[in-house]
A and B are shown apart, each in its own frame.
Chain A
Amino acid sequence: MRLLHNNPVLYREMRMRLRPSSLAMLAVAVGAILGLALIYILLQELDRRGQWARIDWIHVWHGFAVFVMVVQVFFAFYVALGSAANCIPREKNRNTYDFLTTLPISAVDKVIGLAVGINLYPLMVLVFLMPVAVAAGRTGGIPLNAMLWFYVLLGVSFLAVGLLGVAVGSGSGGGTAGLLIVLLFLLSGMTIFGVIEEHSFAATPLLAISPYATLKVLLSPPGECAEVFQPGQHHFFGWAIPWQVSPLSFLVFLGILSFAVARNKLSFPSNPPLDRRTVLTAFVVFQVMLLGFLSDALTAVEHPSQTAGTFFMINFCLVMAWGLAGQPTYAALMHWAGGRPHWIRRLAGESFTQIGSPTIVPAGAMWLVSVGAIVAMNRLYWREVSWIGILLVGIVLGVFLLAYQSLYTAGCLALRRRGKVLGLVLVAACFTIPSIFSTLQHGERVLHATPLAVFGQFFSWNSPLLNDGQAVSKDFNYFASLSFAVGELLVFGGVCLVALNRLARRAPRAEASLPPLPAA
């Protein structure tokens, strides 16, 4: 591994980008923007004060420092994300992608070289304007520790979004995915910014994707921001611990995950972005991080059962989505099912390592982790929701999840070419058909055939009235949903079993010895 030193991709990007003409153009453009901004701030101040002598220079330099930081965020976050996400599509467009893929260097070197090399201009804006912003900020009365913490976060953001961009780019053929991810980050960042502005509250991990909100929090006087953002009393922390540590942790998590995806896609483009073990590990780490860093948000929620329901829903969707997306192709399933010993004996063990195996078992394991995390959250923060209730809901939803995964697998195996589409249609039908029939006058109970009924009841479940699960069977119609779920699992699981057995019988056996190499 050559990481940065002697990295050919980085060398190439440096040679291409650091030409005197390009650098001069960048310097002139950024200098002009900053100069105009300074003149505007000065004129605004002059307009307000009336006389040159009365100008409040602290205010001027404060405004200028904020502007410089805003420019840096724009370049080091959004431009960096966009250009990194466009790096592989650009190689494909200009017909140089084959050269990149056949370079005799490791995928790690390619990812690092691209993530840093593509973003040399944003990196220069970040590095060279930092002293300007710090000097202006200090003169303008912005605390030095606030600015340094901001730059630590921005620096980590720069690396994380660079890696995220390469990951997105390596998995897409055109530039649309890059544009979409930038828009998504812009919109979500603005939403978080708006929430902080209006409610003086936000779940701190969300600051990882909203650097303008971070800037806003940092520059707000201590009395005007929420408790979680207030200065702390700890030696190493200028502010409350979760606010400082959680965005940083989530950025590091995002960066590592993106790095793994980009490395996988650049090594073996046809493989899934992440192998099974990494997905499971990342899922566990994500749940632990949510447990650790959502204390501020969770303790502030008025109705804990609502939050528990939201967590159930988010995790159900996440696990379901991974289970569907990670399902191997017909050919890969056939290859795996045709091996020895019989697939059913290998299912539990190999599902966590072999990408050719069905996703049912890992999805089930991820669901168990989710339920465990929700129980732990309840124990740590909410405390009001009955843990028996959470377990029961977890079991019902888990059975539904396994039933749908089985149905999807059976759909995938029904058709060689468009099996995944058929599987998706079948799963969607299982959701939508009972939902439609439930709107009939006497059809309410049909909704119990879907997880929607479980979510609906869990949300409307007034937790303070329930203790130790006593009221669960009375108020919460758990048995109806469980009966439907078990019925679906028996039917769909049976079909899936038959389909996999049939596939295993049809799979070509591995050659005992390699065939000769004929001349023709």
Chain B
Amino acid sequence: MDTEILSMVNLRKEYYDVVAVNDVNLGIRQGDIFGLIGPNGAGKTSLLRMLATAMEPTGGCMRFGGVDIWEDPVAYRMVMGFMPDFFQLYNTLTTREVLLYFGMAHKLSWRTRARRADEVLALIGLADKADSLARGLSRGMVQRLGLGRALLHQPRLLLLDEPASGLDPLGRKQLFDVLGEAHAQGTTIVISSHILGELSDVCNSVGIMHHGKFLAAGPTAEIIGKIMPKRRITLALTTPPQAAIGVLESWTGAGDVQVEGPRVRFLFDGADADLSRLNAALVGAGVGVALIEETRTGLQELYLAITERQGHATAS
């Protein structure tokens, strides 16, 4: 599924003197879960609101399935679900009525919207609150209802702006389970979040925004490979580390050796076969290796590495 379903060409948003989104060019593949990460003020919310047609761009264009979104925004909205970062739902409506209202807007038949409302309420764990007024719901419940209303019409594209904020750990787990189900049904998801650890688990592609521009974007593994090509290896030793340090410092492709008690951490540039050869060399030098462990590079490390690199570039 390599087809780009959503593309942005020179997309720009200005608020008076501030450029929130600065000529962004990006393509998101069909079926991807695209994580949008960046510091506060990076332009994530502006980008998502433009993609949701809640706001017009100052310049550039956005295409969904190759068609300019603003040519027929109503048709696009029919297949798109959006959950903004800050929102309230209509306080004097019950949770079921909220879903029925949005179902009606998405032209679902009376029977379908009633059935989907019940299904979604069960999915988001609010079936027992179906007849409660929205004003009586907690922040987390409102957040879940917001997600439910975005999923109600089974959209092809789901845009979520900080969906996990206000949710307890169980709620977050449920959220990512629900997203997993939607993804399994072929929905393309664009999600912005500060909780990078959890995003790492669900996103297969990522875009890192800073000052309205993408510093990096694409499949997560590919970016990590580009930005942080060296593997982080930890050795657990049964012998003193001096011998191991000697071997590692003389080995081409190993570097940044750090000793923490019986463990030695280093960066390694090479394939698994090279790592096996290094292990043999260590054993040959009389080093007792109890464990060789590779630490996976997550979004957190990637984000920090990129923003630090950007900081150095700006400073220089």
A residues lining the B interface (CB < 8 Å) = 6, 8, 11-12, 15-16, 19, 94-96, 98-99, 101-106, 267-270, 331, 417, 514-520
Min CB gap A271→B, angstroms: 8
CB atoms of B104 and A8 under 8 A apart: yes
Closest A residue by C-beta to B94: A15
A241 to B149 alpha-carbon distance, docked (Å): 54
Is the C-beta of B105 less than 8 angstroms from some C-beta in chain A? yes
**A518/B25 contact (C-beta < 8 A), A8-B105, A95-B88, A102-B52 known:** yes
Contact stretch, chosen from B53-61, B241-249, B267-275: B53-61
Min CB gap A339→B, angstroms: 15
Q: Do most interface residues of chain B lie in helix, strand or loop, or is the interface mixed?
A: mixed
Contact stretch, chosen from B74-82, B297-305, B308-316: B74-82
A-B contact pairs, 27 of them (CB 8 A): A8-B104, A8-B105, A12-B93, A16-B90, A98-B54, A98-B82, A98-B87, A99-B84, A102-B80, A102-B82, A104-B77, A104-B107, A105-B74, A105-B105, A106-B74, A268-B56, A331-B58, A417-B17, A515-B9, A515-B10, A517-B7, A517-B8, A518-B25, A519-B216, A519-B223, A520-B214, A520-B216
**A520/B88 contact (C-beta < 8 A), A8-B105, A98-B52, A104-B77 known:** no
B residues lining the A interface (CB < 8 Å) = 4, 7-10, 16-17, 25-27, 49, 52-56, 58-59, 73-75, 77-78, 80, 82, 84, 86-93, 97, 101-102, 104-107, 149, 214-218, 222-223
For A94, list chain B residues within 8 Å (CB): 88, 91
A417 to B15 alpha-carbon distance, docked (Å): 11
CB atoms of B106 and A16 under 8 A apart: no
CB atoms of A19 and B105 under 8 A apart: no
- Which of B25, B75, B77 is in CB contact (< 8 Å) with A515? B25
For B53, list chain A residues within 8 Å (CB): 101-102
**A270/B88 contact (C-beta < 8 A), A98-B49, A104-B107, A518-B25 known:** no
A370 to B216 alpha-carbon distance, docked (Å): 58
| A99-B84, A101-B54, A331-B59 given; 13 more Cβ-contact pairs under 8 Å | A11-B101, A12-B101, A15-B101, A16-B90, A96-B87, A98-B49, A98-B87, A102-B54, A102-B80, A104-B107, A106-B74, A517-B4, A519-B217
**A15/B87 contact (C-beta < 8 A), A8-B105, A517-B4, A520-B214 known:** no
For B90, list chain A residues within 8 Å (CB): 12, 16, 96
A104 to B101 alpha-carbon distance, docked (Å): 12
**Pairs A-B, 7 closest by C-beta atoms:** A519-B218, A104-B77, A517-B27, A8-B105, A8-B104, A104-B78, A520-B216
A268 to B71 alpha-carbon distance, docked (Å): 12
For B55, list chain A residues within 8 Å (CB): 269
A12 to B88 alpha-carbon distance, docked (Å): 15
Min CB gap B263→A, angstroms: 34
CB atoms of A96 and B88 under 8 A apart: yes
A53 to B215 alpha-carbon distance, docked (Å): 91
Min CB gap B91→A, angstroms: 8
Closest B residue by C-beta to A107: B74
Min CB gap B310→A, angstroms: 12
CB atoms of B215 and A95 under 8 A apart: no
For A516, list chain B residues within 8 Å (CB): 25
Closest A residue by C-beta to B49: A98
A216 to B200 alpha-carbon distance, docked (Å): 72
A145 to B54 alpha-carbon distance, docked (Å): 49
Min CB gap B209→A, angstroms: 11
For A269, list chain B residues within 8 Å (CB): 55-56
CB atoms of B87 and A95 under 8 A apart: yes
A267 to B27 alpha-carbon distance, docked (Å): 26
For B101, list chain A residues within 8 Å (CB): 8, 11-12, 15
A104 to B74 alpha-carbon distance, docked (Å): 5
CB atoms of B16 and A98 under 8 A apart: no
**A16/B92 contact (C-beta < 8 A), A8-B101, A98-B87, A515-B25 known:** yes
A270 to B102 alpha-carbon distance, docked (Å): 25
CB atoms of A520 and B215 under 8 A apart: yes
- Which of A95, A514, A520 is in CB contact (< 8 Å) with B9? A514
Min CB gap B178→A, angstroms: 19
A103 to B54 alpha-carbon distance, docked (Å): 9
Closest A residue by C-beta to B84: A98
- Which of A98, A104, A518 is in CB contact (< 8 Å) with B105? A104
A77 to B222 alpha-carbon distance, docked (Å): 63
For B222, list chain A residues within 8 Å (CB): 519
Min CB gap B19→A, angstroms: 12
A16 to B93 alpha-carbon distance, docked (Å): 6
A422 to B261 alpha-carbon distance, docked (Å): 70
Closest A residue by C-beta to B226: A520
- Which of A6, A270, A517 is in CB contact (< 8 Å) with B104? A6
Min CB gap A233→B, angstroms: 52
For B216, list chain A residues within 8 Å (CB): 519-520
A520 to B226 alpha-carbon distance, docked (Å): 11
A515 to B104 alpha-carbon distance, docked (Å): 39
For A514, list chain B residues within 8 Å (CB): 9
Closest B residue by C-beta to A335: B59
A349 to B76 alpha-carbon distance, docked (Å): 33
A19 to B135 alpha-carbon distance, docked (Å): 15
For B106, list chain A residues within 8 Å (CB): 104
For B74, list chain A residues within 8 Å (CB): 104-106
- Which of A8, A19, A99 is in CB contact (< 8 Å) with B87? A99
- Which of B27, B88, B105, B215 is in CB contact (< 8 Å) with A103? B105
A141 to B123 alpha-carbon distance, docked (Å): 65
A417 to B17 alpha-carbon distance, docked (Å): 7
A101 to B49 alpha-carbon distance, docked (Å): 10
Closest A residue by C-beta to B70: A268
A11 to B54 alpha-carbon distance, docked (Å): 22
A95 to B83 alpha-carbon distance, docked (Å): 12
For A517, list chain B residues within 8 Å (CB): 4, 7-9, 25-27
CB atoms of B104 and A11 under 8 A apart: yes
A517 to B214 alpha-carbon distance, docked (Å): 12
Min CB gap B142→A, angstroms: 10
A426 to B90 alpha-carbon distance, docked (Å): 48
For B217, list chain A residues within 8 Å (CB): 519-520
A17 to B160 alpha-carbon distance, docked (Å): 30
For B87, list chain A residues within 8 Å (CB): 95-96, 98-99
For A99, list chain B residues within 8 Å (CB): 84, 87, 102, 149
Closest B residue by C-beta to A103: B105
- Which of B7, B16, B26, B27 is in CB contact (< 8 Å) with A417? B16
Min CB gap A9→B, angstroms: 8
A6 to B100 alpha-carbon distance, docked (Å): 12
For B25, list chain A residues within 8 Å (CB): 515-518
Min CB gap B61→A, angstroms: 9
A73 to B87 alpha-carbon distance, docked (Å): 36
A105 to B106 alpha-carbon distance, docked (Å): 8
